[in-house]
Amino acid sequence: MNGPVFIAGMGIVSAIGNGLPANLQSLCEEKAGIGEMHFLNSVLKGELPVGEVKQSNAELAIATGLSVKSPRTALLSGLAAGEALRDAGWDKNNSLRTGFISANTVGGMDKTENFFSLFSKNASSGRLADVVNHECGAVTELVANLLGIRHFVSTVSTACSSSANSIFTGARMIRAGLLDFALVGGADALTRFTLNGFNTLMILDKELCKPFDENRRGLNLGEGAAYLLLASENGLKQLDKKPYARLSGYANANDAFHQTASSPEGTGSWLAMKGALDKAGISPGDIDYINLHGTGTQNNDIAEGTAINLLFGPAYPKMSSTKAYTGHTLGASGAVEAVYSVLAIQQKIIFPNLRLQTPMKEFPFHPVTACLKNQRVQHVLSNSFGFGGNCSSLIFSAA
């Protein structure tokens, strides 16, 4: 009880690649994956750059073994979750207790919105079977069944902090002695619903996003999935493998300011980061790298920057937003960035904040702009701040 929580396996699919090696390569080669829409059929095609996963539903179905009629969120989830389990060498016939805690915000919306546009014109058109997996929880169940996890299955849906929250929910259950393994993370696919919604909030950049840049104009939406297999000490022994890292700290707080904007002082962000440091039992000076939430919106970057200035000043760790590579993957972002944070520890690399040209004038610090190798990366802080004021921070430490 209350023992360490290890990261025994990881899996990921994003705009910059399918699988851990591909993502790592893109990160090191500074190759972003944001650009034209190919698979999503939207009136905004050509107007807004997005971070699409470069595989069709048919390709994803073949790779996962799920039906091609599955929602894209489930396909992405199945792919990344499967990789995490194989990466860890987890066997579904092991005698220990495994939970699956998956996050998403969009559920099977990609299928539903297609159904809806047919149905709204003619009530007898559209396949009802398309909406059967609409709900967030249904997508989780499809993947749980695919993987053969039955002991505990749950879904977290708290906007952009969803998968960060599912990660530490799994950690808490392991520390409470309720699980030996927790497959945690999340997925979200691009949909017209989300694209139009963000567009109407006027927070999308028509160009490639520039997180933490003085001239930033908004975010780019992305899609993807990422999972970590968390293990207790006992679980890790059974896998008989060396862990990537430990999840040493985590915290969650509510900004209590606005449904979709952050408070200018970054109160929620500050509380989440401070809480995570306290949980990990380390001080701000021990952090070697911050993977920023850094969406590229006017509001987030100033709020997050303000909180960092207050908490870390006058000595600031290196930091970057990898959303410049992948776009904002919403429900998947906490987990995608957790994977990148753990890779940073494993590889001793600090990934750059692409396209940063003019640092924000408000702060005496700015993100790194080149890929830095052979770094000291013992402790990494990863931020995920969601609509609804839900702010979460995770700390990963070398095992």
Partner 1 sequence: MQTDRYISASCLIARNKINKNGQILFEYPGPVEKFLEETYKYFEIAYSKFHKMDLLCKLGFVAAEILLKDSGHKTKYGETETGLILSNAHASLDVDLKYAKTIKEGASPALFVYTLPNIVIGEISIRHHFKGENAFFVFKHFDGNFMADYINGLFDNNLIKNCICGWVDILKEDYRALLFLIEEGSSETGLVFSAENLNLLNKKDHG
Partner 2 sequence: MLKLKEQVIERLNLKDLKPENIGNDDPLFVEGIGLDSIDALELIVLLQQEYNIKLSNAEDGPRVFHSIRTMAEYITANSPVVKISQ
Residues that bind partner 2 (CB under 8 A): 200-202, 258-261
Taking the complex as a whole, the smallest distance from the CB of residue 99 to partner 1 amounts, in Å, to 11
Catalytic residue among 136, 160, 209, 391: 160
Q: Which is nearer to partner 2, 124 or 259 (CB)?
A: 259
| 134 among known catalytic residues | no
Question: Per-residue b/e over 214-237, b at no fewer than 16 CB within 10 Å?
Answer: eebbbbbbbbbbbbbbbbbeebbe
For partner 2, which is the closer residue by CB, 198 or 227? 198
Task: Using CB under 8 A, count the residues that bind partner 1.
Answer: 51
C-alpha angle with apex 47: 46 to 52, nearest 5 degrees?
65
- Binder of partner 1 out of 5, 20, 80, 109 (CB under 8 A): 109
The entry of partner 2, partner 1, none that residue 145 binds, CB within 5 to 8 Å by partner kind: none
Strands 181-188 and 17-18: unpaired
Hunting for tokens 């809806």 — which residue is that? 116
**Cα–Cα nearest to 78, from 23, 24, 162, 139:** 139
State which of positions 349-388 bind partner 1 (CB under 8 A).
Answer: 386-388
Q: How far is the CB of 387 from partner 2 (least distance, A)?
A: 11
Residue 160 is among the residues annotated as catalytic for this protein: yes
Angle of CA points 74, 49, 357, to nearest 5°: 120
d(CA 373, CA 357): 21
Interface with partner 1 includes 133 (CB under 8 A)?
no
Q: By CB under 8 A, tell whether 390 contacts partner 1.
A: yes
Tokens of 361: 């004038």
Shorter beta-carbon distance to partner 2: residue 47 or 233: 47
Binding-site partner at residue 39 among partner 2, partner 1, none, CB < 5 to 8 Å by type: none
Q: Is 388 exposed, middle or buried (0-12, 13-18, 19+ CB in 10 A)?
A: middle
Least Cβ distance, residue 262 to partner 2 (angstroms): 12
Amino acid code (one letter) for 63:
A
Catalytic position from the list 134, 136, 328, 391: 328
Task: Indicate the pairing of strand 390-397 with strand 245-254.
Answer: antiparallel
How far from 318 is each of 94, 337, 376, 379, CA to CA, in Å?
41, 15, 11, 11
Q: Is 293 a catalytic residue?
A: yes
Q: Which is nearer to partner 1, 88 or 131 (CB)?
A: 131
Q: Residue 156 interacts with partner 1 (CB under 8 A)?
A: yes
Catalytic positions, please? 160, 293, 328
Binding site for partner 1 (CB under 8 A): 105, 107, 109, 112-113, 116, 120, 134-137, 140, 154-159, 165, 169, 172-173, 175-176, 178, 192-193, 196-202, 252-260, 267-268, 271, 386-390
